[in-house]
Chain A
């Protein structure tokens, strides 16, 4: 049986939430698996190992000055040196995993499946998994041949951590197997996002717009409703890509994480990258022309309608209520 390795993303000594989820995904591949966590870094980064004991019975650490910042090319070279042929390697499907995993699969000569959100298990040398296409509008069963190993990126939030921690945990220092590392890409620095005129993380109600707003000239219909509701306007990625709103308004894994009480998703299809920016279990009201929009799977209340007509009428209604209240 192939050994399963989980690459642990961590920052400032804290493991990413995905660290525990990868252990859960490994058990879906093989219920008897004792996956091995791999932690790369330098200096204080290895503080993360203590927290991994609840999910892993074995941790491999690789300490190297070149690995102080996670550079995918250097991490790939490291993994190729320590991971035995035929292994299954799990990595979280986020910006680092997207950078690392496809090339890793080539260098390990194993198959690759990205953004896995379900695992049906192993059938001989066939591993059956579930992923999505077309922004989550349809799912697919995917079969991969794992006799020479596999690299999978695992969707954050799709798998539960283990119910019970393994009885004990061994930490193995593999640093000596790696040696000197160089890369054709060198990390320089990170730039924090600019803060926008409006802080969407501070609002109880967000009127959030997506591709369904269709053009820049329609953005004011959302702004007018938000003004009447005392809410803020936020958006999904296509609106920022089109430069209709500034980046500070974007909700999602590459934008802001928000915790409103009510989230009105207007013309937003509901990709998982977008939903990843919604925390604190807000009440989601989705309005979308397309009855098959994935957002309706996660919303509390859904309305199939054209936001270009619905929003102005709602604004008019709120104004009318305010006028009545003022009398």
Chain B
């Protein structure tokens, strides 16, 4: 099984507070710690587990800049066979559809049985996987939290739907799946593992190698544009307790009792 995983490098919200810049129209990016988008990491782990079960190769691809190479190396240290960077000045400012168009061009340069994405990027819209599938005319499923490889170029997949219910379907290969967090336990990657892949090549592809029309990507091709960032005016907001910890605990206990919660 030849598996491609589309990954993104995003600000890690467990490591950062996301704050607006002084102009109030962008987030403050200078101090941010970036890492691989968490659901994408689950997607890579799932690809590695499938390849271990049925054989095959795992390629991780991202659209971005040189800085994004670090997540490719991280996933190669996890066990991915190849990392590929799709980079070109013309790609900057692409919307979801533009990203899907770039990825589509790359998918069509190879022969893949299965393409995985994370369910959603921290700053994204849970969109690129579904768009890519539609562009390729491949079947698609979102929110996938279990994959079983069947005979006859098919998968049995589980989607996480409302209320903890699981929707079971059969899907033909090749297909695109967006992977939900919790599908597996991604393996740990240490510094040693990352050093071990530091000298491996990470090929890059640009606009011309991919044969992409400039009109469909980048800022000019984007029909959807983020105008600004803002922090919405709080509604009522919480009544913030600013006493000592001991005072706060007393207050909380008082409130729990008053609201009918204590026996």
Query: Which A residues lie at the B interface, using CB under 8 A?
Result: 71-73, 76, 94-96, 98-107, 111-115, 128, 131, 133-135, 137-145, 183-193, 204-205, 211, 229-231, 237-238, 240-241, 243, 247-248, 250, 253-257, 260-262, 264, 269, 283-286, 290, 292, 295-305, 309-310, 313-314, 317-318, 321
Contacts and interface: CB of A to CB of B under 8 A. Distances in A.
B160 A95 contact: yes
Contact of A134 (B96, B123, B239): B123
B169 A190 contact: no
Interface string B125-159: 11111110111001111110000000000001011
Interface of B: 11, 13-14, 17-20, 27, 95-97, 100, 119, 122-123, 125-131, 133-135, 138-143, 156, 158-172, 175, 178, 181-182, 185, 223-232, 234-235, 237-241, 245-246, 248-253, 255-256, 259-263
A106 B220 CA distance: 18
Contacts of A190: 161, 165-168
A107 B130 contact: no
A19 B126 CA distance: 21
B134 A184 contact: no
Contacts of B261: 204-205, 229, 231, 260-262, 283
Contacts of A300: 238-239
Contacts of B128: 102
A122 B155 CA distance: 43
Given A185-B175, A192-B165, A139 B160 contact: no
A94 B159 CA distance: 12
Given A188-B156, A296-B240, 11 more contacts: A99-B142, A102-B129, A104-B134, A111-B97, A134-B11, A142-B227, A143-B225, A188-B168, A188-B170, A243-B185, A283-B259
6 contacts: A186-B169, A190-B166, A190-B168, A237-B181, A247-B164, A261-B260
Closest 7 pairs between A and B when the two form their complex, measured CB to CB:
A102-B130, A184-B139, A193-B164, A302-B238, A103-B134, A241-B182, A114-B125
